[in-house]
Structure 1
């Protein structure tokens, strides 16, 4: 069957797959996972984001062009950023500073603005800031922690998809974590009514066991928790258990929608997420690993033939800068180096494989036109600072960033433009440069006709002041204090290596 084109990206939200985890199955129970990373924004929160905005438009609470604001640790913010980008609403996200870098960048990439709150203020701090901004500026506040839309969208979509997936077999256990509580409340309410034999299991951090404490959360008239929950402790599971019990979660607990609470350690969450990738080929985040760890515990003690389904809320790509990926290095391991050494070519301990056309005497031929071009560029009195560059080279970008920040006027010659490639001049210019400076690498920088060096030499010269002195001697104005740490301009993978 051929699918018709969708009207917008928002029409692709939902209908995420349920997959059996055969290699991670323990005991006699069958273990399944619902992969919410298949939503276009990469998480279960796409459902909520689209539903909140649609309901606000329908009710008139959100006016055309009005700014949307919300407090979130990340996934709701990414979902809202996607939805608001498609619908044309300005968006401000408030999140704690210790949320992953990838989440901030994703939201900003979608066009949202991200306001950070101090980590010490925790989840209640980000919520208070969002309320403050909404009240001050007249922005529409989504209120994901309390809006009935949150549970309703999961009752309407997620629960129905689960029932459809298990229409021909029993669903003995459904396992989820708790963030805002929307998934829990929405799905659990439907399962209670239509699959009463299904046990509903909720996981929470073992060191921050708010739900199992039995201590209720109090809220003021604005929906703010009156104080942080006394049992809250910092934990690594982003998206789970803020420092208060959200109203939706509290209501679900009060209505008896939860049969069992399973504590999950941070270590077991990380281990499960890593196993999920290496054993099942599924890339998921820390909260997914935590839910899976809880589901594996349920499956271990379940009777043979039982079916256990757990929710995997998001993808793992937004956790690259977190402890989830701490064991992954950028450099080759000893095993990988051994693989490299098992064949003779294309290795870091060998000279480059291509040197270019040579004369009978073994010298590389230099094209006269390319040599003249390099001569003219270096000696151009109107452009005393010249950067020979590759268009998409990260090291070239580092030098450009330095020059731009310091206000250094320069001529950038990208030697790999399509025009130069068509004329076969890109390789010729590079050979002419190599013959002149003795190095095959790009970029190469010249100041007032004299060779300065490549990227690392340029950054080092800025650090020790010799570049500034050379610029001053040539009468080139610049800001000497613009970049006190030039190494910060290097690609991230290089800084990590250092």
Structure 2
């Protein structure tokens, strides 16, 4: 133990932990990048980019730094800039978790939000525009060479040192900006040529597995919303493309959103490791490798901590009030209870309380669509995306009022494999006049998207349509449907 001269000296040298309960019969390990002082692997890159800019003279004392980030890079830069005395502006899509923007602001950064439908590329465009307008230093994390170099100099060698004299068959990680992928891949090719790099990728956004090139402008055609923040933006970054060109990637494994969420929860409840959704995705891919090769030795890179996902689906089933079991525990002894007086004290009054352009419709898609929306057994059909927040909002409303419905996830791997995903989206665009999802049909007739459906619930139109389709709408509870909208939409920031 010794005294560091500043917080940035504590970045790196993160621990490797064996996951004994998740893989009791196999060699599954995790490198905990949450042990960095800013809570994520992005601390390494943030410091490297700032130091490289200082050395080159691109960043002057007191100059404002600007960067686009879904959160972890922004938090890391906020920490480094606070320690080095640079003002920071982070450009962030409004759809990303509220905790992240609050952490950045707490560290002194300014956070400029961009509309959700512009996706990751919209954030990057705004950061570029702000840098050009004000003369700020733009980090360019997706193409900055310091991003990959820091992982080649430090993260990769740390992995090699941890497994010195031991087998290490696979390292599993996500692509993200491509910096850790490219840097670790280069280092291990030199230091551990026996170790192979496996990239985990959202199964509904197969930008790498699909093999289609990145367009010169706009989003990649295979991008769909997914819950793995920081992984797979709506474009293929320079470092990621270079890692593929340099043949650093042995295999690409698809991971579903459900698997990623389950992996994160298992890390917490079975290993005591608080980690994010991308960490759960890495572990899910690692377990799949062990299923295929039980004697393998697998290291998963866990990019961040779980606390910055409190407002995301990862914590949807985690309540802040006591549940029935906790109330029973409370009542199992007489003291300090909400529902009984405490001797010598007053009685407590508390109680439990993004879209492809339309194309000509092909006949298979038309037949599939007509069969779905005109099925009398399921008159309510919602065309959705599995990880679109407005699709979640619609599901929550329908489930809360007990409305039976069929959800057709247009980014489901089965539809994509059948070649129906894009034709169905094009058909929906033509039929509804709207390029967005979700879209709801009742009894074969179009009702509208998420907000239109909520307005129809308030006005009684939804109940009338449902009743006409032969379903019972008589027992629906009275509620404000907007409570199911994403929190960032409920609390949209306004211009002063």
- Note if contact 1:346-1:353 (Cα within 8 Å) is conserved in structure 2: no
1:315 corresponds to 2:327? no
Q: Counterpart in 2 of 1:250?
A: 241
Residue 343 in structure 1 maps to residue 333 in structure 2: yes
Q: How does 1:9-28 map to 2 (within 5 A)?
A: 9-25=7-23, 28=25
1:252 CA drift (Å): 0.5
Question: Which consecutive aligned stretches of 4+ in structure 1 deviate over 2 angstroms post-superposition?
Answer: 352-356
Match of 1:32 in 2: 29
**Match status 1:57 vs 2:50:** no
Q: Corresponding residue for 1:333?
A: 323
Give 1:189 shift.
0.8
Quick one: distance in 1 between partners of 2:203 and 2:233?
A: 14
1:78 matched residue in structure 2: 75
Structure 1 residue 68: deviation in Å?
0.1
* 1:198 to partner: Cα distance: 1.1
Q: Say whether residues 1:285 and 2:276 are aligned partners.
A: yes
Give, in angstroms, the shift of residue 352 of structure 1.
Answer: 3.6
Match of residue 276 from structure 1? 267
> What is the TM-score of this pair, normalised by structure 2?
0.69
Q: Distance in 1 between matches of 2:293 and 2:6?
A: 43
Residue 40 of structure 2 contacts residue 303 of structure 2 at CA under 8 Å; is this kept in 1? yes
The 5 Å alignment of 1:20-419 reads 20-25=18-23, 28-219=25-216, 226-304=217-295, 306-355=296-345
Give the 3-state SS of the residue equivalent to 1:158 in structure 2: helix
- 1:218 Cα deviation from its structure 2 partner: 4.0
TM-score by length of structure 1 reads 0.69
Distance 1:135 1:205 in 2: 34
What is the CA–CA distance in structure 1 between the aligned matches of 2:343 and 2:156, rounded to whole Å?
58
Q: How far has the Cα of 1:284 moved from its partner?
A: 0.2
Q: Secondary structure at the match of 2:236?
A: coil
Counterpart-to-counterpart distance in 2, 1:302 and 1:141: 44
How far apart are 1:204 and its partner, in Å? 0.6
Q: Distance in 1 between matches of 2:343 and 2:116?
A: 51
Distance in 2 (alpha carbons) for counterparts of 1:248 and 1:182: 6
Give the secondary structure class of the aligned counterpart of 2:249. coil
The whole-number CA distance in structure 1 between the counterparts of 2:329 and 2:260 is 32
Counterpart Cα distance in 1 of 2:208 and 2:282: 15
Question: Is the 8 Å Cα contact of residues 29 and 302 (structure 1) preserved in structure 2?
Answer: no
**CA–CA distance in 1 between the matches of 2:176 and 2:332?**
49
Tell me how far 1:303 sits from its aligned partner: 3.9
Query: Which protein shows a greater Rg?
Result: 1
Contact 1:268 1:290 (8 Å CA) reproduced: yes
Task: Note the C-alpha offset of 1:176.
Answer: 0.5
How far the C-alpha of 1:192 sits from its partner, in A, is 1.5
Q: 2:28 aligns to what SS in structure 1? A: strand
Whether the 8 Å CA contact 1:276–1:283 is kept in 2: the answer is yes
Shift of residue 182 of structure 1? 0.6
The counterpart of 1:7, out of the listed 1, 5, 8, is: 5
| Matches of 1:212 and 1:271, distance apart in 2 | 23
Match of 2:460 in 1: none
Deviations 1:360-408 (CA, angstroms, capped at 9, x unpaired): xxxxxxxxxxxxxxxxxxxxxxxxxxxxxxxxxxxxxxxxxxxxxxxxx
Cα distance between partner residues in 2 of 1:29 and 1:259:
21
Answer yes or no: is the 8 Å Cα contact 2:157–2:188 preserved in 1: no
Cα deviations by residue, 1:186-231 (Å, 9 ceiling, x for unpaired): 0011111221211210011000000011112244xxxxxx111000
Quote the Cα distance in structure 2 between the aligned partners of 1:355 and 1:253. Answer: 68
Once the two structures are TM-superposed, the CA of residue 261 in structure 1 deviates from its matched residue by: 0.1
The CA distance in 2 between the partners of 1:163 and 1:184, in whole Å, is: 15
Instruction: Give the whole-Å Cα distance in 1 for the aligned partners of 2:124 and 2:345.
Output: 60
Q: Partners of 1:94 and 1:251 in 2: how far apart? A: 25
State the number of aligned residues.
349
Structure 1 unaligned spans of 5+ = 220-225, 357-487
DSSP 3-state at the match of 1:310? strand
Q: Deviations over 1:438-493 (max 9, x none)?
A: xxxxxxxxxxxxxxxxxxxxxxxxxxxxxxxxxxxxxxxxxxxxxxxxxx9xxx9x
CA contact under 8 A between 2:13 and 2:158: conserved in structure 1? yes
Q: Secondary structure at the match of 2:108?
A: coil
